[in-house]
Amino acid sequence: MTAQSRFQLLFALWYGAIGILGNFFALYLKSIGISGAQIGFLAGVIPFASVLVGPVWAYFADVTQNIRALLAAACLGLAISMLVVIHLRGFGVLLSCMLVVGVFHAPIAPFCDSLALQYLDGTLRQQDFGKVRMWGSIGFAVSVFFTGALVIEHWINSLLYLYTAVVASIAIVTVTLPESRLLRVMGRPVSLDVLRFTPKLYRLLLGMILIGATLGAVNQYMIIYLDELHTAGWLSGLIFAVGALCEVPLMARTTFVLQKLGSRLVFLLGIGLLPIRWCLYIFIKDPFLLIPIQLIHSIAMLSLLVVGVMLVDNLLPPQWRTTGQTMYTVALHGLGAGVGVLSAGLIYNSYGMSAVWAACLITGSVGFLVLRFAIQAEQSPSDRPRLWERI
């Protein structure tokens, strides 16, 4: 197995795990008697934990340049803590244990991105990141389809066992990955310096928090929405899978798309379509009509999970690549998603799913405007040299 194929397997497994927990965990919690508002708190713990511990993981990764070992340790910790969650039922004990889950969950996505970008940098093929990342979409699609078709209708209690097995497999794959070490850098954490000397990144992260709030809401409450529409398990899985499968050809052609349209236009196009998606969800009551709308999801994921990752990577020096990717992940999937999940739980409990989608529509529209402003001005040529000098 080549190095690139091992990275592709890594992304397939990790996003397969995300598909299991991110899309069906709320339904699992509902099945064991957790209320709508409590689901919001429990699902929101993981992204909020990443805000607190993500930068700490990133700092040690960049200082030691031993990302691979830290990634394997995080996966093992996540698998073990999730085995404990399986046996818990009360809201209080679940909340405490989910905090531990969040600590180990926080670094996995940015560490995967950082390792892959570091490998591609060494082969001078950074724009091939989309071809590596598309395997995450394939893994996600396979995961959500079979979980929806087989697990949630008949074996909902086995959901977390399946998730644990996939995460443990990631730890095994991780130790086989190549790791091109950069020079170690010593000093205090520089997250604030990164933002101070890279204003474009600061504005981009602010917009990502708003977009992340809408994605956090949809990731956890889409299955509740489908359940209210009396959607069959196989159809729920198909709806999730279609969005991911449509990502694959887009990500496979990332280089071509960027050459034709430019990274800025591709980035804004995907994000600008999201409010349309939330608006349609308010009115759609037939789950079959949700299938074509998943194309919007695919374009947005190309913008956020490929183009956005590359934009952030190009703003920072390689030695602090993991810090940059962690800041991006914390904004999009951490602070933003945490606020979105918690808010969606409270809104859903009081006003129902239509109000959740209306809140996403407003938040996503504001986020698009912030991001349009954030990237309309090109980075000053002096930004990166000043940052290099500072750290």
Percent pLDDT > 90 in the chain is: 37
Domain assignment present for residue 186? The answer is no
The residue-averaged pLDDT of 192-197 equals: 57
The terminus-to-terminus CA distance of the chain in angstroms comes to: 37
Predicted local confidence at residue 126, as pLDDT: 65
Distances (CA, A) of 217 to 105, 106, 280, 359, 363: 18, 18, 15, 10, 11
Asked if residue 110 has pLDDT above 60, the reply is yes
The residue-averaged pLDDT of 53-78 equals: 90
Asked if residue 30 has pLDDT above 90, the reply is no
Mean pLDDT of all residues in the chain? Answer: 85
Domain assignment present for residue 185? The answer is no
Predicted local confidence at residue 359, as pLDDT: 96
Predicted local confidence at residue 281, as pLDDT: 93
| Residues 43, 26 contacting (CB under 8 angstroms) | yes
Domain assignment present for residue 209? The answer is yes
Asked if residue 271 has pLDDT above 80, the reply is yes
The residue-averaged pLDDT of 281-301 equals: 90
Domain assignment present for residue 229? The answer is yes
| pTM assigned to the model | 0.78
| Residues 75, 170 contacting (CB under 8 angstroms) | yes
Residues in Cβ contact with 320 at an 8 Å cutoff, skipping those fewer than 6 apart: 62, 185, 190, 194, 391
Strands annotated E in the chain: none
Asked if residue 192 has pLDDT above 60, the reply is no
Query: 9-13, 109-113, 119-123, 310-314: which has the minimum mean pLDDT?
Result: 119-123
Going by pLDDT thresholds of 50, 70 and 90, the confidence category of residue 182 is low
The residue-averaged pLDDT of 73-85 equals: 95
User: Angle of helix 108-122 relative to helix 129-146, nearest 10 degrees?
Assistant: 150
Asked if residue 78 has pLDDT above 60, the reply is yes
Number of structural domains in the chain: 1
The residue-averaged pLDDT of 350-365 equals: 94
The residue-averaged pLDDT of 35-45 equals: 82
The residue-averaged pLDDT of 308-333 equals: 85
Domain assignment present for residue 297? The answer is yes
Domain assignment present for residue 28? The answer is yes
Show the domain range for 34: 3-179+192-390
Asked if residue 195 has pLDDT above 60, the reply is no
Going by pLDDT thresholds of 50, 70 and 90, the confidence category of residue 181 is low
Which of 68, 142, 58, 86 lies closest to 321, judged by CA?
58
Q: Is 352 left (phi over 0), alpha (psi -120 to 50) or beta?
A: left
Domain assignment present for residue 257? The answer is yes
Tokens coding 11: 């992304």
Asked if residue 375 has pLDDT above 60, the reply is yes
Tokens coding 309: 């990752």
Here the CATH number for the domain that contains residue 291 is 1.20.1250.20
Q: How far apart are CA 320 and CA 326, in angstroms?
A: 10
The residue-averaged pLDDT of 359-388 equals: 72
The residue-averaged pLDDT of 54-73 equals: 88
Predicted local confidence at residue 72, as pLDDT: 96
Domain assignment present for residue 184? The answer is no
Going by pLDDT thresholds of 50, 70 and 90, the confidence category of residue 314 is confident
Predicted local confidence at residue 193, as pLDDT: 58
Predicted local confidence at residue 158, as pLDDT: 85
Residues in Cβ contact with 283 at an 8 Å cutoff, skipping those fewer than 6 apart: none
Predicted local confidence at residue 388, as pLDDT: 35
Asked if residue 8 has pLDDT above 70, the reply is yes
Predicted local confidence at residue 150, as pLDDT: 76
